[in-house]
Amino acid sequence: MPRLRLTALAGVLIVLAACASAEESDGATSPQDTLAGDVTVFAAASLTDALTEIGSEVERMYAGVTVTFNFAGSQQLATQIVEGAPADVFASANLAQMDVVADAGLVAGHPVMFARNRLQIVVEPGNPRRIATLRDLQRDGVTVVLAAPQVPAGRYARAALDRAGIALSPVSLETDVRAVLSKIALGEADAGIVYASDVAAAGDRVTGVEIPDAANVVATNPIAALAAAPNAEAAQAFVAAVRSEAGRAALARAGFELP
Amino acid sequence: MSSPTRPTGTTAPRGIALLGVLAVVFLTLPLIGLASRTPWTQLATLLRDPVVIQTLRLSLIASLSALLLSTVLGVPLAWLLARSHFPGRRLVRALAVLPMVLPPVVGGVALLLAFGRRGLFGQLLFDATGLSLPFSTAGVIVAETFVAMPFLVVTVESGLRSLDRGYEEAAATLGATRWTIIRTVTLPLIAPSLAGGMALCWARALGEFGATISFAGNLPGRTQTMPLAVYLELESNPSAAYLLSFVLLAISIAVLVGMRDRYLGQP
C-alpha cells in the first residue's frame, strides 16, 4: 500500500468527523494521508467487538495508520498505563478505572463518556434453568459465575445484587467479563452477570435475560487520549472516530446505549 | 583437534563474556525491580492475613497433591519410555511432553473440553455422579498436574537412560526379583534425577496460572492459588501483590538451592 507521510494538519478532527459521516453515507473509503504510524488502544474487554470494528474503519480512513488493541479488564489496563505502558488511548468500562489513570495525570484533556452498557443475566441457550430474575440465581443447584470485584463488571454486578438484597455464592470470580461469558457459553456454569453488549457479541451461544431498570446498574464507558501517547494525533483521531456517527452506529450494533 | 590448544577455564573471549554478562543483567533486573518495590515492613502483617494464609494453604495443598499424582503416574511413564520398546513410543513421548510447550491457557481450555461439565469425559462423570471438576480444588490439582507432570517425566526418563544397567543385571544374576531390583537398585540410583524432577514439577505446579484460571476458575479458598491472587491483587492492592510475588520467588529460590547439584553446582 503506498504510504505518504505528510505533516499532520491542524484541524484533523474536523476532517475526520467529515469523512466519518461521508463514509457512513456512501460507504466509499476516502483514505487520508495526514496521519501515519501505529495507534495503540487499551480497551475494556466488553468493548472488544465494537472497537475492533471502529479500528478497521480508522485504518480504512487513514492508509498509514495501524490500530493495535489490548483488550483486558479495565483495572488491569489502568495498572499497565500507570506503570508506563505505551498506550495512545484508554477506553474503560467504568469511571473508577479512568480516574486511576486521570489521577496519575496521564489523560490528555478530559475523558468523554461515549457509551453506556446495561447488565444482563447470561444463561445457556434457551434458558434451560428458567432463570427470570436476579433472585432466581439464589436457587439451589444453580451455579453462578461473576467477574471478580476488582473488575468493573464484577463491581456493577455486586451493586445490582446488593441493591436487590441478594446474597450469592458464585463458583468463580473471573478476571474479566468475557471470561464469565465463555464459562456460560461452554456450559460450565448455569448463569452469570455480564453486559448486554457481551450477550449480543456471543450470538446464539448464550441467551440473555433482561434485568428490569429498577434493579439494573448502568455502566458508563469513558474514553480518553493519553498524555504520554506516542502517537498523539492518531490517538485524537481514534477518539473522534469512536464518537462519530459511524462509531456510534457500531456501538449501537454491539448492544451499547449511546449518551 | 589440531588447532593450538588454549588453556580452558581461564579467560573467555570478550564477545562471549559481554553477552553472558548481558544475559545475567537481563535475568536479574526484574528480580531487583520487584525487590525494590516490595514493602518489606508489611510482610509480617500480610503473612498473618487470613486471606493470604488461606491462599497459601490452598496453593500448597494443590501443588503437593499435583506432585504426588505426577510422581505416581509419571515415574511409571518415564520407566516405560526409557526401558520398554513398543510401537509408537516416540509419539507417546511427544504427547506426554506436549503440555510443556502448549500455552497453559490453551491447556486449560483443552481440559474444559475433556473434563468440563459438557466435556468429552466430564459429561459422563457429571451425568453419573453430579460431580464436575471445574471450579473445584480437584480441578486445580488436575490443571497443575497436566502442566507439571511432563517436567518430572523427562527428568526421570533421562536419569533412567543414563543409568549403568550393569548394577541391575548384577542384581538379577544374584537372584533378585524385578520388583526387588526396582526398589533396591534402580530407584536409589535414579534418586538424584527423581528428586530433581519432583522439585521442578512442584515448582511448576506452584506457579501454575493459565491452565488453572481457565479450567478451575478463581474463587478464594477453593480455586484461588497464589499466582491468581497476585494477578488480581496487582490492580487493587499492588503492595500485597509484590509481597506475594516475593513469597513465590523465595520458594523458587529454595527449590534451586535444594537442587544445587543440578543447577548451581559445577558441571
Chain B residues with beta carbon closer than 8 angstroms to that of A188: 112, 116-118, 132, 134-135
The reply to whether residue A187 touches residue B117, judged by beta carbons under 8 angstroms, is yes
Q: How confident is the model at residue A237 (pLDDT cuts 50, 70, 90)?
A: very high
pLDDT attached to residue B236: 72
In a domain, A69, yes or no: yes
Give a yes or no: residue A240 inside a domain: yes
Residue B191 placed within a domain: yes
Tell me, yes or no, whether A36 lies in a domain. Answer: yes
Q: Is residue B217 included in any domain, yes or no?
A: yes
| Host domain of residue B168 | 49-263
How distant is the Cα of B88 from the closest Cα of chain A, in angstroms? 33
| Residue B234 pLDDT level (bands cut at 50, 70, 90) | confident
C-alpha cell at B84: 520398554
Please state the rounded mean pLDDT for residues A13-30: 42
Q: How far is B12 from chain A (nearest CA, A)?
A: 38
Cβ(B143)–Cβ(A196) under 8 Å?
no
For the CA atoms of A155, A157, A159, A160, what is the dihedral angle to 10 degrees?
170
Mutation site, A75, A129, A171, A174, interface B, largest B CB count within 10 A: A171
Backbone angles phi, psi at B201, to 5 degrees: -60, -45
Comparing C-alpha atoms, which of A39, A41, A31 is closest to residue A63? Answer: A31
Structural domain count, chain B:
1
**Any B CB within 8 A of A96 CB:** no
Q: Mean pLDDT over all residues of chain A?
A: 86
- The ipTM estimated for the assembled molecules is 0.76
Q: Which residues pair with A222 in a beta bridge?
A: A113
Instruction: Write out chain A residues lying below 8 Å of B114, CB-based.
Output: none
A3: in domain: no
B108/B145 Cα distance (integer angstroms): 11
Based on the fold, state whether residues A81 and A121 are members of the same structural domain. no
Q: What is the mean pLDDT of residues A97-126?
A: 94
Question: Bridge partners of A107?
Answer: A226
Count of CB contacts below 8 A, A vs B? 57
Q: Is A7 a member of any domain? A: no
Query: Which residues touch B139 (CB under 8 Å, ≥6 apart)?
Result: B115, B133, B215, B216, B217, B223
Q: How far apart are CA A206 and CA B33, in angstroms?
A: 44
Confirm whether B141 is domain-assigned: yes
Q: Mean pLDDT, to the nearest integer, of B198-205?
A: 92
Q: Which residue of A has its CA nearest to B228?
A: A175
Q: Is residue B175 part of a domain?
A: yes
Domain shared by A24 and A66, yes or no:
yes
> From the list A171, A175, A183, which residue is nearest B231 (CB)?
A175
**CA A200, chain centre distance (Å):** 13
Distance CA A147, CA A181 (A): 10
Give a yes or no: residue B259 inside a domain. Answer: yes
Confidence band for B38, pLDDT divided at 50, 70 and 90: confident
B106-165 pLDDT tens trace: 999 999 999 998 899 999 988 888 888 999 999 999 999 999 999 999 999 999 999 888
Between positions 142 and 161 of A, the ones with CB within 8 A of B are 143, 145, 148-150
Residues A224 and A194 in one domain: no
**Chain B, nearest residue to A82 by Cα:** B235
Which residue segment(s) compose the domain that A74 sits in?
12-115+220-253
The answer to whether the beta carbons of residues B244 and B52 sit under 8 Å apart is: yes
Which residues of B fall within a CB distance of 8 Å from A143? 135
* Number of domains making up chain A: 2
**Structure confidence at residue A1 (pLDDT):** 36
Taking the C-alpha atoms of residue B134 and residue A188, their distance in angstroms, rounded to an integer, is 7
Inside any domain, residue B29: no
Q: What is the pLDDT of residue A5?
A: 41
Is residue A20's pLDDT more than 50?
no
The mean per-residue pLDDT over the stretch B28-32 comes to 89
Is pLDDT at A3 greater than 50 in this prediction? no
Mean per-residue pLDDT for A107-126?
94
How many C-beta atoms surround the C-beta of residue A121 within 10 A?
25
Q: Both A225 and A148 in a single domain?
A: no
| Residue B19, domain member (yes or no) | no
Domain match, A65 and A139 both: no
For residues B213 and B143, what is the distance between their CA atoms, to the nearest angstrom? 9
Has residue A1 been placed in a domain?
no
Give the CATH number of the domain where residue B179 resides: 1.10.3720.10
Contacts of B218 in chain A (CB under 8 A): 148, 172-175
Of A165, A155, A172, A94, which Cα lies nearest the Cα of A134? Answer: A165
% of chain B exceeding 70 in pLDDT? 93
- Within this chain, do residues A111 and A19 fall inside the same structural domain, yes or no? yes
Mean pLDDT, rounded, for B243-252: 84
Enumerate the residues of chain B whose CB falls inside 8 A of the CB of residue A175: 213, 218, 231-232
Distance of CA A244 to CAs A24, A33, A113, A155, Å?
A: 10, 19, 13, 29
Tell me if A124 is assigned to some domain: yes
- Render pLDDT for B167-200 as a digit per residue (tens, 0 to 9): 888 999 998 888 899 889 999 999 989 999 999 9
Q: Does residue B128 fall inside a structural domain? A: yes
Is the pLDDT higher at B237 or at A251?
A251
Same domain, A109 and A121: no
**Predicted confidence band of residue B8 (pLDDT cuts 50, 70, 90):** low
Same domain for A141 and A225: no
CATH number of the domain that A176 lies in? 3.40.190.10
From chain B, the residues in CB contact with A104 under 8 A are: none
